[in-house]
Structure 1
Amino acid sequence: MDEKKLGLRDVVAVSVGLVIATSSLVSLGQGAGRIGELFIVAMIIACVFNMITMATMAELNALMPNTTGGLAQYTLAGIGPLPTMVLMVGGYFASNILSSGVEASIFAYAMGEVIPLPLPNYFWTLLISVVILIANLRGVDMFAKIQNLVCYLLLGSMLIMGLIGVFGLGTGAAVRQPAVMNATPKNVIAMTATAFWLFIGAEYAIPISKDVRNAKRNVPLGMFLGLGLICLVQSIMVLGFHRYTKWPDLMNSAAPHMLYGSNLLGMPGKIWMAFVAALAVISSQNSSVQALSAIAQGMTKMNMMPQCFGKTNRYKVPHVGVWFVTIAILVCGYISQDSSERISFLIQVGSVFWMLSYIVAHIDLLVFRKRLPHAPRNFKVPGGPVLPLIGISGIVYMICNISTDFHTRMMIYLATGVTFAALSVWSVLWIKLRMKMPLMKPVPINKVLAMENSMFYKVRRNKGLCR
């Protein structure tokens, strides 16, 4: 039996890894620019909603432990193949690859500003992607080493930069401005949709649970600790913004973190924030490549992805998935490069995809609570159906307020709707022709768990039940 290599520290690193990204630094600055330090309240509300979702994910993982497909397998057993296909390809693959590509392009722009080489900014996207590709092809141990180093350097850098601002230790000129802007409950609640993006992605610890020691404790605890650390560090950053950067400047900047670094410490601060941006993109893209390739591998076991995604190299890494995700990120990074408006729009579209997947996770949990009330669970969300229903309501509200501009909001809904319609058509054809299963009939949990065994589909193919 293989020794499990990852502990609580690794789970926290993976949970933080995708959450603290360059786009999060942008959203943090722009959110603070709108309502000042009051944005911390919106952040706390959004963090609580994300913790509710992580609690749901932890119970689902407790009910179906060690599944490589994570949410895909929960949804297949909960509400059937069609929602699973649409959710996982649209809600996870599309949104994660899209956001990682955007992250890479934001990072490339920042590096181009700090290190003006006679090369296109896309060079930095390509460079960082190749490094992460090689690391992930070397296996979970190499992934964890990089993730731990990058994650804690990132948190430490943000904390120090925030504290320098809070205590007025910067070399730049301090500004005088009110601590709070537009102080109404309506404005705070409206800004929770912006704050929600700051905490998306902690569930990426779920696919690595099979490699985690004492997973029943370390996986949920690691996700909660990761979200709590992020909320604390980003709150300190907002307090630092107040002293050294004018709120309107933050709100209107395409790179508010770079603006803060420059105002705080001059060119050294700008370089330091570029370093933070580099750590953020390494952390988020490293998490995306590892988790998405693992999820794709899990979906091959359910015959929901081409079987090539299940093949592993000598390090037991699903290398086809690693290559596919990396190339897709490079394509999205190329499309979104050097366009702040395009970057902002793609982030918002990806956010809607992600929120819908969180809603489905809560629905899965409610279905299992009704269908299997006495099934053994080593972790259970307290309060019966109350917290999942609160989580669903909060996320629906945030989707409805994804943008303050009506036209932009409608375009986001249009892009999301067209994508899901296309995915639905493709999913129906795949399920009928390849899987040969009813579209909306849930698969029993014991059968979904049996799919983890490589013999499951060999037997089905021999019987002519699938291709």
Structure 2
Amino acid sequence: MQETPTTLAAAPGAAANKPRAALGMKALLAVAVGLVVSQGVMVIMLQGVGIAGAAYIVPLAIAWVLALCYAASFSELSLMIPRAGSLSTYTEVALGHFPAILAVFSGYVVVAMFALSAELLLVDYLLGVLYPGLGGGLWIAFGLLGLFTLLNLMGIDVFAKLQNVLAFVMVVALTLLGVSALSGGFAPHEIPAGQIFGEFNLGDGALTLIALAIWGYVGVEFVCPLVGESRNPERNIPRAMFIGLTMIFGVFLLYCLGALFYIPRETLVNAELPHLEYATAAFGGSGTFLLAVAAVTATCSTLNTSLASVPRMLQGMAEQGQVFPILGRLTPTSRVPWVAVLFVAGVTGLPLLIWGDDAGTVGLLLVAAAIAWLLAYIIAHINVIALRRRYPDAKRPFRTPFYPLPQLIGIAGMVYAIVYASPAPELTTWIFTSAGVVLGIVSLVAIVWIKGVMKKPLFRPEPLDQLMAGNAGDKRND
């Protein structure tokens, strides 16, 4: 039977949905680093070092280890089941359709929606402070959203070239800021090293900041939905995540320690734009330009990566029947899931329209939704354990070293981070209530869709051989 374009877009393993491999190691590394290092994270890192001082090195290192654990789980899953749907596909085979839909929508679509909105609001506000007359009216925010939506619709090659440049400029700017601050090369240190390291004390609640530090490492798994467009994924997907996380750890270490030489810890905690205070103190007037470059490229890099990765998650879900088939539609030549790209761009712009320039509300919603992101990581770890038990002999191009230790450590660490997710005790009820509402709405929609449209059980895993047969069909038809 001849398939129509609509049927083809929704069919699992349809050959027409097979993208071409265009992303090498450099592009995947740029994706991993570029999504994680956002302007919001730049602020969060300075707040952490302001609270704990030099002792923040310890939670920063522990969070890095936890991040390596989730990168190991995603590496094993993405290469065992190399599909664009990423976490939804792995969970569908390990735990069933309900946790699969819940994990992606609550842990990625909702989080990306608020994360991107907060990033765009922050860059609009920062540029308004640095260059009065530029900010306000959100025209910068909507302009960037429109520009990167258009560029992502043009194809993966355009995305990759942009991402390489954005990630490189951002990492260089932040590294230059950290190294210059530590060395005192541009401006004399305001605070002596003896005072900074003399105040090193883990007894002041530094270990509770693991929950804060983990936000500096979430997102490198966004390379996984791009597995079908990657060259040599068995080698490059794990390396991009592990190297990317290590680069991020090094950059944040320099960046955070450098701030202590110039800015009082109270200022780092309480300032609206602590990174602006930092850059100005370390570089004088030229610091504002350096910060503007770092902040704008960080926001653009996060936006660019999200508009590439999240739509491909939705594309994979459409191919499995977990969302509307139209979200799997591809452009004829560049093979971009254009409906999904427009959908993600639309939900990103929605908070901007509702709350305008009230970044505080979106910031709180982001913390609430980020709890769901950590739940998605817990599900990924559980997936690895479930699939190891159900399919012990399945082909795994990457196997987690010291299994199941990274999964057990990762689950415990993410639970700890969720418990301490609230930035202030008075906000705890609001944040967990908001997270509960988000999860409740997504759960209700998922139940209605699975039972009413898919006509399948909520928690019955799909057979792995059936899914892999679809992959084999792709290769034969190519």
> Which bracket does the TM-score occupy, shorter chain normalised?
over 0.9
| 1:226 paired residue among 214, 235, 244 | 244
Picking from 105, 117, 125, the partner of 2:141 is: 125
1:235 is matched with which residue?
A: 253
Task: Give the deviation of 1:135 after TM superposition.
Answer: 1.1
What is the aligned counterpart of 1:22 among 39, 43, 53? Answer: 39
SS at match of 2:205: helix
SS in 2 for 1:443: coil
Cα distance in 2 for residues equivalent to 1:432 and 1:55: 33
Q: CA deviation at 1:172?
A: 6.7
CA deviation map 1:15-67 (0-9, x unaligned): 011100011001011001001122122111101101100100000112112x0
CA 158–119 in structure 1, closer or farther in 2 if over 3 Å, else same:
closer
Deviation at 1:337, TM superposition (A): 5.0
User: Which residue in the other structure is 1:160 paired with?
Assistant: 176
Per-residue CA distance 1:188-237 (angstroms, 9 max, x = gap): 22011000000000000101111222111110011000010011011001
Identify the residue that residue 9 of structure 2 maps to in structure 1.
Answer: none
Deviations 1:133-156 (A, max 9, x none): 111001111000000000011000
The equivalent position to 1:37 in structure 2, one of 33, 54, 63, is 54
Cα deviations by residue, 1:102-156 (Å, 9 ceiling, x for unpaired): 1111111111112222762411101111111111001111000000000011000
Q: Determine the structure 2 residue equivalent to 1:458.
A: none
CA contact (8 A) 2:54 2:196 kept: no
Matched, 1:443 2:462: yes
Q: 1:202 aligns with which of 201, 220, 224?
A: 220
Cα pair distance change 1:213/1:180, threshold 3 Å: farther
- Which secondary structure state, in structure 2, belongs to the residue aligned with residue 377 of structure 1? coil
Q: Counterparts in 2 of 1:101-116, with a 5 A limit?
A: 101-116=117-132
Task: Give the letter aligned to residue 28 of structure 1.
Answer: M
TM-score (norm 2): 0.91
CA contact (8 A) 2:34 2:301 kept: yes
Are residues 1:81 and 2:97 paired?
Answer: yes
Report the Cα distance in structure 2 between the residues aligned to 1:281 and 1:434, rounded to whole angstroms.
38
Which AA in structure 2 matches 1:80? G
Letter paired with 1:248: E
Count of aligned pairs between the two proteins = 454
Aligned residue for 1:249? 267
Alignment CA distance shift 1:143-1:252 (3 Å): same
2:114 matched to 1:98? yes
User: How far apart are the structure 2 equivalents of 1:142 and 1:180?
Assistant: 49
* Map of 2:69 onto structure 1: 52
CA distance in structure 2 between the partners assigned to 1:92 and 1:377 by the alignment: 25
Aligned partners of 2:135 and 2:46: how far apart in 1? Answer: 29
Residue among 306, 311, 315 paired with 2:334: 315
**Which position in structure 2 is the counterpart of 1:415?**
434
TM-score (norm 1): 0.93
In structure 2, C-alpha distance between the alignment counterparts of 1:128 and 1:385, rounded to whole Å: 43
Q: Which amino acid aligns with 1:380?
A: R
Partner of 2:22: 5
For residues 244-323 of structure 1, what are the structure 2 equivalents within 5 Å? 244-313=262-331, 314-323=333-342
Does the 8 A contact of 2:127 with 2:292 survive in 1? yes
- Indicate if the aligned counterparts of 1:102 and 1:337 stay in contact, CA closer than 8 A: no
2:4 maps to none
CA contact (8 A) 2:330 2:338 kept: yes
Q: Identity of paired residues, percent?
A: 29
Moved more, 47-56 or 441-450: 441-450
Tell me how far 1:91 sits from its aligned partner: 1.3
Unaligned ranges ≥5, structure 1: 456-467
Q: Is the 8 A contact 2:117 2:362 kept in 1?
A: no
- Structure 2 residue matching 1:375: 3-state secondary structure: coil
1:311-334 per-position Cα deviation (integer Å, ceiling 9, x unaligned)? 111311111111111121122234
Instruction: Quickly say closer, same or farther: Cα 1:113–1:334, change in 2 above 3 A.
Output: farther
Q: Which residue pairs with 1:459 in the alignment?
A: none
Q: Which whole-Å CA distance do the structure 2 matches of 1:205 and 1:118 have between them?
A: 34
Give the drift of 1:2: 7.2
Contact 1:297–1:318 (8 Å) recurs in 2: yes
Question: Where does the alignment leave 5 or more consecutive residues of structure 2 unmatched?
Answer: 1-17
Q: 1:101·1:336 contact (CA, 8 Å) conserved in 2?
A: no
Match of 1:64 among 81, 92, 97: 81
| Contact 1:109 1:121 (8 Å CA) reproduced | no
Kept after mapping to 2: 8 A contact 1:82/1:428: yes
Matched, 1:169 2:188: no
Question: Which position in structure 2 is the counterpart of 1:342?
Answer: 361
Q: What SS does the corresponding residue of 2:261 show, helix, strand or coil?
A: helix
Tell me the equivalent position of 2:419.
400
How far 1:453 moved relative to its partner? 8.8
After TM superposition, give the deviation of residue 185 of structure 1 in Å. Answer: 4.9
Q: Residue 28 of structure 2 aligns to which amino acid in structure 1?
A: V
1:4 and 1:211 in contact (8 A); partners too:
yes
Q: Answer yes or no: is 1:192 the counterpart of 2:225.
A: no
Q: What amino acid does structure 1 have at the position aligned with 2:129?
A: E
1:60-101 deviation per Cα after TM superposition (whole angstroms, max 9, x unaligned): 112112x01000000011100111111111111001111111
Q: In structure 1, what is the equivalent of residue 6 of structure 2?
A: none
The one-letter code matched in structure 1 to 2:47 is Q
Residues 115 and 202 of structure 1: CA distance in aligned 2, closer, same or farther (over 3 Å): same
